[in-house]
Amino acid sequence: MEQISWQEFERTDIRVGTIVAAEEFPEARKPAYKVQVDLGPLGIKKSSAQITKHYKPEKLLGMQVLCVTNLGKKQIGSYMSEVLVTGFADENGDIVLAQPAGKVPNGSKLM
């Protein structure tokens, strides 16, 4: 595994936010949802998330998730993704969302 410096890691802006909207994204090449995440002082940001195996849109509402906020925007079909919602692949390769163990203020930075 390639090592990075502490300064390089510090450049990655990972913040917590609350999912405030989620809907099907049928035009995506891989099954995904369009989600909107309230990142507090950073505002509400959009993301495309390939999390359809473990989650339904209505169950995502109110869930806090970890997002990388400084990767820049990415066009995914007709949708502009502004942040990367993070997660881990389970034993089948399906994504399980990364979440804080307890409720924290939206926009809080991973330390």
What digits encode the pLDDT tens for the residues 46-94?
A: 999 999 999 999 999 999 999 999 999 999 988 999 999 999 999 999 9
Chain mean position to CA 94: 15
Q: What are the distances in angstroms from CA 4 to CA 1, 8, 32, 55, 78? A: 10, 6, 31, 33, 34
Q: How far apart are CA 111 and CA 99, in angstroms?
A: 14
Model confidence pLDDT, tens digit, residues 24-54: 999 999 999 999 999 999 999 999 999 999 9
Which domains, from first to last, does the chain contain? 7-97 (2.40.50.140)
Residue 77 has a pLDDT of 87
- pLDDT over threshold 90, residue 111: no
